[in-house]
Amino acid sequence: MTLKDMIFRDCILTDVRAADQEDALRQIFEALYKARKVKESFYNAVLKRETEYPTGLALPHCNVAIPHVVPEHVNSSALGIAVLREPVLFRQMDNHDLTTEVRIIFNIALGREGKQIEVLQSIMKMVLEKDMIHAILKAGSPEEIEMILRKVG
């Protein structure tokens, strides 16, 4: 299972208007659920895990969040992506007392066949590449983001 295997156009959202973190995660969940990639329990599991293990990352080019849950809430592996019109606050992964304004959310829905460490490493490598992140931010459609990610995935 590579990152490329987890990219589905109908699980990519662009120009997302979200009131807050929960709203953004709900919109990603709805896309993943509609695509039958996750179970109904996925959304609440993501929210619960986010309170215990925050996933916001303050990075040089763009702050991101990489929420994920255990496979029991997943039907088949996919990556839910939301590019937000305006940032929403996430607690930081490395310092739970701090928040960061996140513009891109990579919500990992990894089934039992997936390898979490490898997928996280691939995403981390990608989000540290300035040109990649800027291309994702500028993309006007899920199709564009899918093409960008498939080139590197």
DSSP 88-142: EEEEBSS-TT-EEEEEEEEEEE--TTS-HHHHHHHHHHHHT-HHHHHHHHH--SH
Tens digit of each residue's pLDDT, the chain (153 residues): 678 889 999 999 999 999 999 999 999 999 999 999 999 999 999 999 999 999 999 999 999 999 999 899 999 999 999 999 999 999 999 999 999 999 999 999 998 876 777 888 888 888 899 999 999 999 999 999 999 998 765
Interacting residues of 92 by C-beta distance below 8 A, sequence separation 6+: 54, 56, 57, 58, 98, 99, 100
Q: How far apart are CA 62 and CA 32, in angstroms?
A: 24
Q: What is the reported pLDDT for 152?
A: 66
3-152 CATH pick, 1.20.1250.20, 3.40.930.10, 3.40.50.1820, 3.40.50.300 = 3.40.930.10
The CA R_g of the chain, rounded to the nearest whole Å, is: 14
Locate 41 and state its tokens: 């329990």
Q: What is the reported pLDDT for 115?
A: 73
The answer to whether the beta carbons of residues 109 and 71 sit under 8 Å apart is: no
Taking alpha carbons only, the member of 3, 109, 101 closest to residue 46 is: 109
Domain ranges of the chain: 3-152
Name the pTM for this structure: 0.94
